[in-house]
Amino acid sequence: MSAQESAVQIVSLDFISGNTGVSMKRTFELGSTGTEMNTLTIVDVSDTIPIEEGKGARTDEKEIVIRRRYQSGCLFVRGKRRKVWVARWRQDLIAPNGTVYRTLRSQVLGSVQEIGPRRAAQKILESKLRPINQGRQLPQSTMLFGRFVGEHWEPVMNPTMKASSARYYGIQIRCHLLPILGSKRLCDISRMDVQFFLSEKRKQGFSGSSVHGMRTALGKVLQAAVDWNLLEENPTRGIHLGDRMPKTQRLYLTPPQMVRLLSSLSEPCSTLVLVAVLTGMRIGEILALRWKNLHLDHGIIQVRESMTGGRFGAPKTRSSRRDIPISEPLREALRVHQMRCRYIGADDLVFSTSKPTPLNPLNLLRRVLRPACAKLGLPPISWHSFRHTHATLLGEVGESLRTASAILGHSNLGTTMIYAHAIPESQKRAVDKVAEILFPSVPKFSADTENGKLN
């Protein structure tokens, strides 16, 4: 037998390949020179090597499991006046083209005075390396945030969202996220970066609700990166935003103001506003209402569609798909409106133009509603103000928060609490009732009463 035939190849796990992290070592043949060398190719760490059946081989299969290399990292002290512990270790990253490569990462653990000797610093480094050594940390992506949004997130996610949601997230991304985070790599966006970004927005004067919208948009994008195995975790989790109240309070109208406004509006805007204030429906839900979903005999409005930007779609949330009772005044107003309409088929819109096409809510607001409010001396309300008015009136008649949430189509009670406002006259009646309980008859107070006691 020749030396080459009797050569033995030994595989070791001490050398790490740059991309896969698999241990590999080249071995020489017995009696051969350095130029005569055979190598054994090792597959990726997640694979196994089956023993092929053949001449001289066993009939059953065996598997060789290749484990990842354990790394302990490197520690050294840097600095002269303020000495700090610096740790280095190898980490797998995903290049923008999708390939995996390995790089050397450095991080300052803290000052030597705060951490202490090398043993304490080594424990901190071991805690950082534990997920890598246990195989629980996935490779991080080095793709730029802006490129990920433009080339991956928007083309994939926008078709799955409602048009209003896609437009809202697009505004947040273009106006706020891309100017600050667009040039940062996905793997470099930390929880501290997100918290600092949102805190700066609050300092610039943005309201809590606006900053919350920025965080929501950023969380949607980064969560997609996590789901697609480009990031290990979403850095927007656990961020503190503080107060979420809007910068300006939503306007609502008192009952006398509503009566004055309704009497000054022309049709069909008058009936449309009456539906909004007596049902609390969104303007998109009202303009998408069809006669087949309006049951005047049973006194029910079925909310099954919504319109945004001239496009029809499903209601905003699952809770928005609901049935709303109709009061008797609204039922009579809708019957009269039905008699005036030319198109009353099952699929025809309840409120439409003469074409018939959907009404434009922005045109109605600018050309009809706002001029009427200005003429009557009322505040410049919006369509959403009627939802706030309805929620406020529900609280005035003593309805529970859960009932109001079901009528308005909110998914949680916290949102409904934002819609309910306190009418000043009701507050005055409330404090008077409390005073009547304590003092059925008005007491007399005098300045010379000893120790301020009542006479």
Q: How many CB atoms lie within 10 A of CB 192?
A: 9
Contacts of 255 (CB under 8 A, 6+ apart): 393
Region for residue 229 given its phi and psi (left: phi exceeds 0; alpha: psi -120 to 50; beta: otherwise): left
Residue 26 sits in the same domain as residue 157 = no
Residue 55 sits in the same domain as residue 185 = no
**pLDDT confidence tier of residue 446, bands split at 50, 70 and 90:** low
**pLDDT confidence tier of residue 5, bands split at 50, 70 and 90:** very low
Residue 178 sits in the same domain as residue 271 = no
Residue 367, pLDDT above cutoff 90: yes
Residue 22 sits in the same domain as residue 164 = no
Q: How many CB atoms lie within 10 A of CB 395?
A: 19
pLDDT, tens only, 327-355: 999 999 999 999 999 999 999 999 998 88
Cβ contact 279:299 at 8 Å: no
| Cα three-residue angle 69-71-72, rounded to 5 degrees | 160
Residue 275 sits in the same domain as residue 400 = yes
Q: What is the mean pLDDT of residues 41-69?
A: 42
Residue 269 sits in the same domain as residue 402 = yes
Residue 88 sits in the same domain as residue 191 = no
Distance CA 180, CA 7 (A): 60
Which domain CATH number covers 220? 1.10.150
pTM for this structure? 0.59
Distance CA 230, CA 147 (A): 13
Domain closes at, from 24, 48, 69? 69
199 belongs to a structural domain? yes
Tally of domains within the chain: 4
Residue 262 sits in the same domain as residue 382 = yes
Name the phi and psi angles at 401, rounded to 5. Answer: -65, -35
Residue-by-residue DSSP string for 94-162: E-TTS-EEEEEEEEEEEEHHHH-SHHHHHHHHHHHHHHHHTT-PPPEE--BHHHHIIIIIHHHHGGGS-
Cβ contact 92:139 at 8 Å: yes
Residue 415 sits in the same domain as residue 292 = yes
> 70-79, 131-140, 391-400: which range is least confident on average?
131-140
Q: pLDDT value at position 304?
A: 93
Residue 2 token pair: 């020749």
Using N-to-C axis directions, what is the helix angle for 384-396 and 269-279, rounded to 10°? 40
> Is the bond leading into 50 cis (omega within 30 degrees of zero)?
no
pLDDT, tens only, 239-289: 877 776 655 566 888 889 999 999 999 988 999 999 999 999 999 999 999
265 belongs to a structural domain? yes
Residue 58 sits in the same domain as residue 93 = no
Q: pLDDT value at position 274?
A: 93
233 belongs to a structural domain? no
Helices (H), 377-444: 384-396, 401-408, 413-419, 424-438
Cβ contact 303:407 at 8 Å: no
Collapsing DSSP to helix, strand or coil, 36 comes out as coil
Report the percentage of the chain scoring pLDDT > 90. 31
Distance CA 224, CA 31 (A): 56
Which domain CATH number covers 300? 1.10.443.10
Token pair 């002290």 in the structure block, residue: 77
Contacts of 87 (CB under 8 A, 6+ apart): 73, 74, 75, 106, 107, 109, 121, 124, 125, 128
Residue 329 sits in the same domain as residue 394 = yes
Cβ contact 180:195 at 8 Å: no
448 belongs to a structural domain? no
Domain that holds residue 78: 74-137
189 belongs to a structural domain? yes
> 3-17, 108-122, 271-285, 408-422: which range is least confident on average?
3-17
Collapsing DSSP to helix, strand or coil, 351 comes out as coil
434 belongs to a structural domain? no
Beta bridge partners of 38: 27
Domain closes at, from 94, 117, 137? 137
Beta bridge partners of 300: 295, 325
Cβ contact 23:51 at 8 Å: no
444 belongs to a structural domain? no
Domain closes at, from 87, 107, 137? 137
Distance CA 137, CA 443 (A): 73
Q: What is the mean pLDDT of residues 217-221?
A: 94
pLDDT, tens only, 383-441: 999 998 888 888 888 888 788 888 888 877 777 777 776 667 766 676 676 667 666 76
Residue 157 sits in the same domain as residue 127 = no
Q: How many CB atoms lie within 10 A of CB 261?
A: 21
121 belongs to a structural domain? yes
